[in-house]
Structure 1
Amino acid sequence: MRNRNSIEEKNLRKILKEKRLELNMTQRDLGELLNTPHTFVNKYEVGERYLTFTEVINICKSLQIDVHSLLDDVMKSSSK
């Protein structure tokens, strides 16, 4: 069973949110790019919803993040 509060899940959410804010993008803006309601973005950012790998890839594309770099960053921050 997945744990929404695992260090990896928390770090993934933190990194994605930081990148969204770095781009001066609102949750609504990102939701529009993803063709999802803004509540989708809110729910994964606060840990109320899991992300599938496909969703992570789509979010990365929308935020101009390299998926490999994201995974490296999540793993590095999780091992601290």
Structure 2
Amino acid sequence: MAKTLHSPAYEHFCSLLITARETAGLTQSDVASRLARPQSFVSKYESGERRLDVLEFLQICQVLKADAQAILNAMQLRIGA
């Protein structure tokens, strides 16, 4: 993963989104197209170069058909919250 200014927990969050995308059988370009965003948007949030807000996260989960709550639960376990 590219060097990031974010914590290991945020890097884990990014890896969960990458795994969800790959599980959905989608490329970064596929996701970007469905979000009406450039491919670089997906690349940047996956690499940790760009942070997501909650609405973007929910839109991405919808495109990926991923369970947003399951991703958040995994993050809670990771950070011990």
TM-score, reference length from structure 2: 0.84
Identical amino acids, percent of aligned pairs = 30
Aligned counterparts of 2:52 and 2:32: Cα–Cα separation in 1: 14
Q: Does 1:51 align with 2:65?
A: no
Q: What RMSD in Å do the two structures reach over aligned CA positions? A: 1.6
2:40 is aligned with 1:39: yes
User: For the residues of structure 1 that align with 2:12 and 2:5, how far apart are their CA atoms?
Assistant: 11
Contact in 2 for aligned 1:20/1:63 (Cα 8 Å): yes
**For each residue in 1:12-69, what CA deviation from the matched residue of structure 2 results, as whole angstroms up to 9, or x when unmatched?**
1000001111122110000011111110000011111010110000001011112211
Gaps of 5+ in 1: none
User: How many pairs does the alignment contain?
Assistant: 77
Structure 1 runs (4+) deviating above 6 angstroms are: none
TM-score, length-scaled by structure 1:
0.85
